[in-house]
């Protein structure tokens, strides 16, 4: 049997064993249902996802603690994935700077096939088990960084190769998969295997698997940023006001958290050069911009600690 046929036979065998690729007889009539019933059934499947994510809380917490510790010593969080999984990593990384005021290099998303693959499929990119390692090498990956590999099947060669390379350098490695006993889980130090079961449309892992991946990456960045002091009383205080909406949100945040009027909040923000966190500290402690900035540095950027120190 030719080598290509052998590989295809082996791949078919693997796919048959994956929950995410399974078909169920109860969905054989989807094309015959009315829209309301389709919505009911799809929503019922989607409701399984948060439950499955909650079952992996211990592993997610370990990943968050490890990511936060590395952030504190200057490390980065780097996502690697192909297709939908890669796009979810890129999306999460791209949203961190405006939400948390982070440098774009702090959270990075790498996708098999490069920038083109964000919008279009790149043939065979996910099968290149050396490409992620090459990209990580270009980023000067170190033991201070975290690499999170995302793959619904849990077997994507691009992700396995990247995790192997990262773990060899001593970086923290985390895997997010939708099947138990995954190859990427075995390659990583922490395996977050959120088993979401067969997809509403068999094999379409942009559905429940993609939703699970989005929920998990939301936790990884959001909760690590909370631990770094990027929020205060449940509100973003390190956001970058890069548009009119965010500028208005900054004023509203300072007004509400400091208990002052919009005009006073605007004045404080101007004096703080647009920094919500600095404006809040100035108002809370009746401090100058210079004194407040110094206190924030001493408090490692944690507003609550800085307020206590100046109080």
Q: Which residues are known to be catalytic?
A: 95, 126
Alpha helices by DSSP H, the chain: 3-16, 35-46, 48-54, 57-72, 83-100, 131-138, 157-168, 183-187, 208-227, 244-258, 262-271, 276-285, 289-298, 303-310
CA pair distance 154, 186, nearest whole angstrom: 9
Sheet of strand 107-111: strand arrangement: 107-111, 77-81, 146-151, 172-177, 190-193
What the block records as the tokens of 305 is: 């600690």
Residue identified by tokens 């200057």 is 74
CA pair distance 224, 67, nearest whole angstrom: 7
Handedness of CA 71, 77, 151, 28 (dihedral sign): positive
């Amino acid at each position: 049997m030719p080598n290509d046929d052998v590989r295809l036979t082996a791949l078919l065998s693997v796919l048959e064993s994956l929950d995410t690729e399974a078909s169920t007889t109860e969905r054989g009539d989807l094309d015959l249902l009315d829209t309301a019933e389709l919505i009911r059934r799809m929503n019922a499947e989607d409701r399984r996802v948060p439950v499955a994510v909650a079952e992996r809380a211990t592993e997610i917490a370990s990943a968050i603690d490890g990511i936060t510790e590395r952030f504190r010593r200057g490390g980065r969080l780097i996502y690697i994935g192909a297709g939908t999984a890669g796009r979810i990593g890129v999306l999460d990384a791209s949203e961190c700077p405006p939400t948390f005021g982070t440098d774009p290099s702090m959270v990075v998303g790498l996708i098999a096939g490069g920038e083109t693959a964000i919008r279009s499929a790149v043939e065979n990119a996910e099968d290149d088990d050396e490409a992620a390692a090459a990209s990580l090498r270009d980023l000067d990956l170190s033991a201070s960084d975290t690499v999170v590999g995302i793959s619904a099947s849990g077997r994507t060669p691009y992700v396995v190769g990247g995790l192997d390379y990262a773990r060899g350098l001593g970086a923290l490695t985390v895997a997010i998969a939708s099947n138990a006993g995954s190859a990427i889980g075995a390659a990583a130090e922490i395996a977050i295997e959120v088993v979401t079961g067969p997809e509403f449309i068999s094999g379409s892992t942009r559905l429940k698997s993609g939703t699970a991946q989005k929920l998990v990456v939301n936790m990884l960045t959001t909760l690590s940023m909370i631990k770094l002091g990027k929020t205060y009383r449940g509100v973003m205080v390190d956001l970058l006001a890069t548009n009119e909406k965010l500028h208005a949100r900054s004023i509203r945040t300072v007004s509400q958290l400091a208990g002052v009027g919009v005009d006073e909040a605007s004045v404080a923000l101007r004096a703080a050069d647009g920094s919500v966190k600095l404006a809040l500290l100035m108002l809370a402690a009746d401090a100058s911009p210079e004194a407040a900035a110094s206190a924030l540095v001493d408090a490692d950027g944690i507003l609550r600690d800085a307020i206590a120190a100046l109080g």
